Copies of this chain bind each other. A is one copy, B any other.
Amino acid sequence: MSDTRGAKDPHPTLRDVAREAKVSAMTVSRVLRDDPKVAPDTAARVRAVADELGYRRNEMARSLRLGGGTGLVGLVVTNLANPFYSRLALGVDAVVSGHGLKTVIGNTGHDLASERSLVEGLVARRVDGIIVVPAGDDQRHLAAAAAGGVPIVVASRPPRGFSADCVLVDDHGGACAATRSLLAAGHRRIGFVGPAPSVYTGAERLRGYTDALADAGITRDETHLRLGPQDTDEAARATAELLALPDPPTALFCSNNRNTIGAFRAIRAAGTDIALAGFDDFELADVLGLPLVIAAYDSDELGRQAGRLLVRRLGEDIAGRGPAPIHRAVIPTSLVRYGLP
């Protein structure tokens, strides 16, 4: 009555509701928690007032008091614009939201410093756990967070310098299979275009390619390797170089979809005829008008598995014995064949 200034009250508190309903804050708290030990009519009155005031209890204060975590999980990826990672995010969110958790997403843009600060920010906000696709091999900040007791799940690459649950793609197997399909088609001079082996995924796929060749009794020809392209333009240039070689490869394996698309463009531009295999499926792969074999996998599932591992880890703090053994999941790949139109 005395002080009803027009200024809109941002977020009424338990006490505001209590005062208005002529009860103690405790009673309001109980009503909101559906505590049965409260008179039905009081409860009704409290609810009415809470509704009228637009009261929403402060989950942050609540979790502070309860001490049981904030209900937030952090997800740190390198590039959300890449459908691969947005699908992964979706998979994570689908799983964790089913457990009442919300996902806080951070994008690093492959930058280590921003990854570090993102992780620190998440820890400072007391997320219950973190799922991360590390930008590089330097994972000391992750190790530190893990040592600090924050459950961490590493996705797409293995943890380095510490141990944690992780979920990987069968990079080696997929690259092997794709390369073998080219060998089976009779190709012997098979080039490689893809990111440098400095990133785990790149290294594994290169190894898969190399091993498949070795199995066929072929030593890989270093002049047919183009290591480094990150985007379609770079990949197209690299491919053009290969095609311009005096003794060019008759087939190409590209270790991710950026490179596959870039290679396709270069092949098209050169008007050459050359077989193509790649890693990572992509939309419209079937209309390129080129025989194409792709090692595909389900990135949603990658996210879901990561989410499940994290949830499992979170659950153990409550229920189980000491820390469960580290789990490492591997997402399989499957070969998809696209033909001529």
- In the docked arrangement, what's the CA distance between A10 and B64, Å? 14
Q: Are A148 and B10 in contact (CB under 8 A)?
A: yes
Q: Are A56 and B90 in contact (CB under 8 A)?
A: no
Per the CB 8 Å criterion, the residue count for chain A at the interface is: 55
Q: Which residues of chain A from 84 to 108 have a CB within 8 Å of any chain B CB?
A: 85-87, 89-90, 93-94, 97, 102-107
Q: How far is the CB of A190 from chain B (nearest CB, A)?
A: 24
Q: Which of A123-131, A153-161, A240-248 contacts B (4 or more CB under 8 A)?
A: A123-131
Q: Are A86 and B93 in contact (CB under 8 A)?
A: no
Q: Are A124 and B11 in contact (CB under 8 A)?
A: no
Question: Chain B contacts of A86 at CB under 8 A?
Answer: 80-81, 83, 85-86, 89
Nearest B residue to A63, CB-CB: B60
Q: Are A102 and B121 in contact (CB under 8 A)?
A: yes
**Stoichiometry, copies per complex:** 2
Q: Is A9 an interface residue (CB 8 A)?
A: yes
Q: Which residues of chain A from 49 to 82 have a CB within 8 Å of any chain B CB?
A: 54, 56-61, 63-64, 70-72, 80-81
- In the docked arrangement, what's the CA distance between A1 and B282, Å? 60
Contact of A59 among B56, B81, B125 (CB under 8 A): B125
Q: How far is the CB of A84 from chain B (nearest CB, A)?
A: 10
Q: Are B11 and A149 in contact (CB under 8 A)?
A: yes
Contact of A56 among B8, B72, B148, B284 (CB under 8 A): B148
- CB pairs A–B below 8 angstroms (11 shown): A10-B148, A11-B148, A60-B126, A80-B89, A81-B87, A83-B83, A90-B107, A97-B106, A103-B106, A284-B284, A284-B287
